Structure 1
Amino acid sequence: MKIASISVFQHDLRVKNGPYTMSYGEITALDTTLVKLVTDTGVTGWGETCPLGPLYAPAHADGARTALSALAPGLIGTDVLSGAVMHQMDGLLNGHAYAKAAIDIAVYDALGKSVQKPVTDLLGGALRKSVPSYYAIGIETPDTAARIAREKRREGYQRLQLKVGAHSPEVDIEIIHRVGQEIAGSGMRFAVDANRGWTTRDAIFVSQACRAIPMIIEQPCKTVSELIALRPQLAHPLYMDENSVDLDRVIQAAGAGFVDGFGFKLTRLGGLTPMSTARDICAARNLPHTVDDAWGGDLLAAACVHMGATVRADLFEGTWIAAPYIDGHYDAKSGPRIEDGHIAVPEGDGLGVTPDEGMFGAPVFAT
């Protein structure tokens, strides 16, 4: 089975009741890119990549589509096997893992359909039928953050993430304490995520001031060297997110022991193929991690849920999906949804999601 054609689509994902605020700015809509891969046997696979705007990471929507236009012609005739396609992509274009991820996800979708198996089976097998999700509270006032924490506790979420880094450290400390009080005794895990918005000084100050609150601190500062310097001075475990740019960095951080876990983004690493390797590295070092992406619709959500279902329960921090923050689904019936703080693994072959192609209009380009 070989790749016969590739089509690329653009679609806007509007933020419900937006904007959504993080340490570096507000988000009102995200520009997502969808890939439709058709094989010479008539099987169709879908993939997606959705960078979180131009400032979050060295990735952006126009860049994804430009990279895909460079990759697609050279992939025609390639065997639909993840290793073969990844090798071919790396020979055609250096870097741009976030664009290659959309192709990689589409390959898994097509391969699963061709052998009538879900993607979880191709990744080693599902360990659960549904995965725990977590809710991310954006930059809010103390009162609003506390109210949202109460709501999400009632809704059954097992983990709560709080965005910080846009206020002063003193306000961040107040918000952390308010949220910590709301979820105390519930068993909910608590992550405080600065998205690189703190200095090392602020990270130390906040951690020491919140010493009594059980939580982890995720990506407080911009660079790996800052994380290395911070680790012995924090009162809390340290997770790396934005600096987990590739498998080499994951191996470095896991081997050196300067982080206690990871916030993984599927497309940042390059798709399901490298994410499965990152999962196994973490299993070898007993490092907890999430399986997420920065944003995206049903296809990207389904890929994250399939991968999350294969992670050891004691190391799995959950899967965040954008569904609660955006309007509508590509697949009205099978698009991933959060119920009681969990996401059911989509049933069916491949990703288990069949997008309504008519939503996307004409392709930006096709080969």
Structure 2
Amino acid sequence: MRIKEIRVYSKILPVRGGAYRMASASVEHLDSTIVEIDAGNGLSGWGETCPIGPVYQPHHTLGARAALQELAPALIGSEVGSVREIYRRMDGALSGHGYAKAAIEIAVHDLLGKELGVPVSTLLGGALTDKVPSYYSTIVGEPGETARIALEKAREGYPRLQIKIGGRSIEQDIETIHKVWEAVGFLAKLVVDGNRGLTVANAITVDRMCASIPFVFEQPCNTLEEIASLKGRMTRPVYLDENTEDLNAVLRAVSSGIADGFGFKVTRLGGLSKMITARDICTIRSLPHSCDDAWGGDIIAAACVHLASTVEPRRFEGAWIAQEYISGNFDSQNPVVIRDGFISVPNRPGLGIVPDRGVFGEPIAIFGG
């Protein structure tokens, strides 16, 4: 089975209910890049990459599409039997840009799973469960409203809540954490996510002023050096998210002992094959982590859930998908959805979802054919 044609689509995903606000960015809609790989035998594989704006990470929509212009021609005619060989060809065509390569790599996993008649989770080592816990992420908002939403989501069954702070006064951040704790208590595990928005001094202040509240601190500061300086000065675990831009960063964080866990993004690390390496490193060092992505629809959601199902449950921190924040699904018959705080693992071949005909409109680029 060989790659006959690669088609690229654009799909606008409006944010339901208003802007999604973080310490470093505020977005009202996302432009997702969809990749379809056609094998010419009646089978197609689907991939997706959807950076959350141009400042959250050094990834952006136009960058992904420019990278695909370099990558796709080099893959036409390639045999699909080896994901590693496809990745080797991509690295030979373009240095870096793992978030664009991830869209192709996910599509190859989908296509290979369909050809073999197995779910993608089988290709990643095998599912350990038929449903995975999700978590809900609040925006940077007014303290009382954030607490109200957190309690609502805890009662819906979410086992983990991520409370975003940063980009405003430290007093508001501290008030938010206290109000959420007063409302939720032990109904759900709490994670406070700074999205790189705090100084070292403010991170330590938040830690001290909320000393009686049990939570994990995720990516409070911008750089690995700042995170390293917090070691021994914090009373709670510190997880890395945005700093894990590639596997080298993961290895550096693990070997130096500055990360107590991770918030992993599939496309940021370069795709599912890179993620299983990160997963296995965390297994060796008994480090908890999540399986997420920045944004996107059913395609990237399915990829995250398949991967999540292969993680040992006691080390798993949840799978975040954007379903709560967008309207509609790519696959109306078998959508990837959160129910009572959990997501069922698709059990059909490949990713287990097939986008509805015409849902993406006409391709914005076609290679091969």
1:42 CA drift (Å)? 3.2
Pairing 1:162-201 to 2, within 5 Å after superposition: 162-186=163-187, 188-201=188-201
Which amino acid is 1:189 matched to? K
Structure 2 equivalent of residue 152 of structure 1 = 153
- TM-score when scaled to structure 2? 0.98
Which amino acid is 1:47 matched to? G
In 1, distance between residues paired with 2:111 and 2:222?
37
Contact 1:67 1:96 (8 Å CA) reproduced: yes
- Higher mean displacement: 20-29 or 294-303: 20-29
Contact 2:25 2:56 (8 Å CA) reproduced: no
Q: Answer yes or no: is 1:119 the counterpart of 2:148.
A: no
In 2, distance between residues paired with 1:153 and 1:327?
22
Structure 2 equivalent of residue 300 of structure 1 = 300
CA RMSD of aligned residues (A): 0.9
Pairing 1:228-239 to 2, within 5 Å after superposition: 228-239=228-239
1:14-47 deviations in whole A, cap 9, x for unaligned?
A: 1011111111232100010000001143321000
Q: 5+ residue gaps in structure 2?
A: none
Secondary structure in 1 matching 2:295: coil
In 1, distance between residues paired with 2:274 and 2:357?
28
1:167 CA drift (Å)? 2.3
Q: Answer yes or no: is 1:219 the counterpart of 2:232.
A: no
1:335 CA drift (Å)? 1.5
In 1, distance between residues paired with 2:139 and 2:167?
10
Which of structure 1's runs of 4+ aligned residues deviate more than 4 A? none
1:283 CA drift (Å)? 0.3
Pairing 1:18-57 to 2, within 5 Å after superposition: 18-57=18-57
Structure 1 equivalent of residue 285 of structure 2 = 285
Structure 1 equivalent of residue 12 of structure 2 = 12
In 2, distance between residues paired with 1:79 and 1:253?
36
Contact 1:231 1:259 (8 Å CA) reproduced: no
- Higher mean displacement: 174-183 or 271-280: 174-183
- Higher mean displacement: 50-59 or 16-25: 16-25
Contact 1:239 1:263 (8 Å CA) reproduced: yes
Structure 2 equivalent of residue 350 of structure 1 = 350
Label 1:357 to 1:222 Cα distance change in 2 as closer, same or farther (>3 A): farther
Q: 5+ residue gaps in structure 1?
A: none
Q: Answer yes or no: is 1:138 the counterpart of 2:146.
A: no
Secondary structure in 2 matching 1:291: strand
In 1, distance between residues paired with 2:227 and 2:206?
15
In 1, distance between residues paired with 2:308 and 2:357?
26
Structure 1 equivalent of residue 70 of structure 2 = 70
Pairing 1:231-270 to 2, within 5 Å after superposition: 231-270=231-270
Which amino acid is 1:163 matched to? K
Contact 2:133 2:158 (8 Å CA) reproduced: yes
In 2, distance between residues paired with 1:350 and 1:362?
23
1:327-362 deviations in whole A, cap 9, x for unaligned?
A: 110001211101000011112100000002412111
Contact 2:25 2:53 (8 Å CA) reproduced: no
In 1, distance between residues paired with 2:357 and 2:310?
29
In 2, distance between residues paired with 1:189 and 1:282?
20
Structure 2 equivalent of residue 85 of structure 1 = 86
Q: What percent of counterpart residues are identical? A: 51
In 2, distance between residues paired with 1:197 and 1:102?
28
Structure 2 equivalent of residue 94 of structure 1 = 95
Which amino acid is 2:334 matched to? S
Secondary structure in 1 matching 2:89: helix
In 2, distance between residues paired with 1:134 and 1:182?
17
Contact 2:47 2:299 (8 Å CA) reproduced: yes
- Higher mean displacement: 17-26 or 343-352: 17-26
Which amino acid is 2:42 matched to? G
In 2, distance between residues paired with 1:132 and 1:363?
34
Contact 2:15 2:29 (8 Å CA) reproduced: yes
In 1, distance between residues paired with 2:365 and 2:111?
20
In 2, distance between residues paired with 1:87 and 1:353?
27
